[in-house]
Amino acid sequence: MSRWADLPSTIAMVISALAHWLRPLFKWALRGLGVMAAIMLVGAFTRVPFDAHRWLGSAAGECNAPAEVIVVLGGSGMPSGPELVRLYRAAELAALWPQAHVVVIHPGNPSALNAMAAELHLRGVQQDRITRLNAGNNTREQALVLDGHFVKKPSIALVSSPENMYRTVLTFRKVHFTQACGVPAWDHAMFHNFDYGHGAVGGKAWVPDISGNPGLRYTFWNYLKLEVTCLREYVAIAYYWLNDWI
């Protein structure tokens, strides 16, 4: 009975010791998060996120000549913004390179893959030019799937989101597609003056007037999201490098 009676106090002592040991680690972790958040907030007021994203899209080498095969890499739902932009760009290339075959790679439910092929057909790509590969849960697996599809490796134009392009091109080159080049599916910004009259649209006098500052209303937040996107991708590049996949 005495041992059971001592159990709560023993547990309390262990928890107290762990808390004492972990407290400095928590402090350093919170400080690190605070510093990172401050850097990201300051960085969102600069063009660094834009340049980092641009580098990811173009550093591995963009296509400057027709390829034998246009490869559209999927991974989002359909319809969705990323997939539709990729398909739009792929259809443009298919029109420019009429001899090129088009391969669409997408995992999961075949309905998404079929919808992607239908979108390409809607944009003028003939069905007999389109091959569907319903596999590939990450970029490495997609590269291996395509590697198994071709005995003789053709030149390929890889269509994917800009932030994924550097890792994607290097991954496909690693599995014998030495003539792989990138086609980043860039979003196109709307060049328009978004100034408006604060009072004219019913803005309150006591609320800060940011009607003439679209940079604060839009660009800052877009760049903040872009920082997270790029940070995630740089971690993914490091992971692929450690696995010798690039």
pLDDT over 90 (residue 144): yes
pLDDT band at 110 (very low <50, low <70, confident <90, very high): very high
pLDDT one-digit tens code per residue, 158-167: 999 999 999 9
Per-residue model confidence (pLDDT) at position 239: 97
Maximum distance among all Cα pairs of the chain, rounded to whole angstroms: 85
What is the rounded CA–CA span in Å between residue 88 and residue 159? 10
Average pLDDT value for residue range 167-194: 91
Q: At what angle do helices 110-122 and 81-96 cross, to 10 degrees?
A: 40
List b or e across 88-123, with b for residues whose CB sees 16 or more CB atoms inside 10 angstroms. Answer: ebbbebbeebeebbbbbbbbeeeebbebbbebbeee
Closest alpha carbon to 161 in 59, 92, 72, 235 = 72
- Edge to edge, the sheet with strand 101-105 lists 130-133, 101-105, 69-73, 156-160, 180-184
Residue 123 has which token pair?
């944009």
Pairing of strands 130-133, 156-160: unpaired
Q: Are 135 and 75 in contact (CB under 8 A)?
A: no
Q: What is the residue type of 162?
A: P
What is the C-alpha to C-alpha distance for residues 206 and 92, in angstroms, rounded to an integer?
50
| pLDDT tens digits, one per residue of 16-74 | 777 777 778 878 888 888 888 888 888 888 999 999 999 999 999 999 999 999 999 98
Q: pTM for the full model? A: 0.85
Residue 128 has phi, psi (to 5 degrees) of -75, -5
Beta-carbon neighbour count of residue 236 at 10 Å? 17
Structure tokens at 219: 């660009």
Q: Indicate whether 89 pLDDT > 90.
A: yes
